Amino acid sequence: MSVINLWGNVPDWAYDSVKSLLEALKASEPTTYAHCLRVGEYSRRLARDMGLNEYEQKLAEFSGMLHDIGKIGIDKSILLKPGRLDSIELDIMKNHSVMSENIVKPLANHPFFAQILPAIRGHHERLDGEGYPDKIRGDEIPLVARVILIVDTYDAMAVNRVYRQGLPEDIIFAEIKRCSGTQFDPQIAKTFLESQPFWKNETDQDTSHLIIKKIA
């Protein structure tokens, strides 16, 4: 049975389709796979705490899980490089959001996945128009993309990377606050900063979602 609510439905086959895509990513780059699962979960929580309805929470969750699926096509010498990327490598890396969109696009015959595509493509757009790939700004950026940008940034800073150790939460929070209004939507950033500390108190039953249960 599909998940039905006020605004639309999540098709039965959505879970298996996403599972297949994420299993391919897991085989190729397990670190990015784990990041995508966390961003999917954090996106759902933030959407919930913003007061979005159940369907919108699912859009955020699935978009978050698939936002970096395009990195499966990025050479590991770039993806896992321990030092700073040069300009050519950076351009290749920046193309991952478009690659993610293209990988998911064959599923977009269903409206649910069609609604996911703009968030996947736009998850590195900035409020001030200095993001990529389209340099759109403000409310031109899909709401779910603005949600993903914050939790994606949080997770990227919090987790150990090949080029640095994860940062303490007070430093991450200070950076999100500093970039609120330029990089991040200020209202979404405010909700994140107020809500995220309470996520740790949620039980597994409160926070685990169907797709992680099926994949992990």
For 27-73, the pLDDT digits (tens) are 999 999 999 999 999 999 999 999 999 999 999 999 999 999 999 99
Give the closest residue to 12 by CA, choosing from 154, 110, 93, 122. 110
Question: How many domains does the chain divide into?
Answer: 1
Q: State how far the Cα of 141 lies from the Cα of 181, in Å rounded to an integer.
A: 13
Q: Is residue 4 in some structural domain?
A: no
Q: Is residue 3 in some structural domain?
A: no
* DSSP-based three-state secondary structure for 2: coil
Q: State how far the Cα of 192 lies from the Cα of 45, in Å rounded to an integer.
A: 9
Using pLDDT thresholds of 50, 70 and 90, give the confidence band for residue 10: confident
Do 176 and 189 touch, CB atoms closer than 8 A? yes
CA distances from 1 to 12, 134, 215 (A): 6, 37, 19
> Rg (Cα) of the chain, in Å, rounded?
16
Q: How many CA atoms lie within 13 A of 87 on its CB side?
A: 0
* DSSP-based three-state secondary structure for 55: helix
Question: To 10 degrees, what angle do helices 54-66 and 30-49 make?
Answer: 160
Q: Is residue 165 in some structural domain?
A: yes
Q: Is residue 43 in some structural domain?
A: yes
Q: State how far the Cα of 197 lies from the Cα of 150, in Å rounded to an integer.
A: 14
Supply the CATH number for residue 169's domain. 1.10.3210.10
3-state secondary structure 5-30: CCCCEECHHHHHHHHHHHHHHHHHCH
Q: Is residue 7 in some structural domain?
A: no
- Specify the DSSP class assigned to residue 161: B
- Specify the DSSP class assigned to residue 125: -
Using pLDDT thresholds of 50, 70 and 90, give the confidence band for residue 75: very high
Using the predicted structure, report yes or no on whether residue 185 has a pLDDT greater than 70. Answer: yes
Containing structural domain, residue 30:
12-215
- The answer for 4, left when phi > 0, alpha when psi is -120 to 50, beta otherwise, is beta
For 89-147, the pLDDT digits (tens) are 999 999 999 999 999 999 999 999 999 999 999 999 999 999 999 999 999 999 999 99
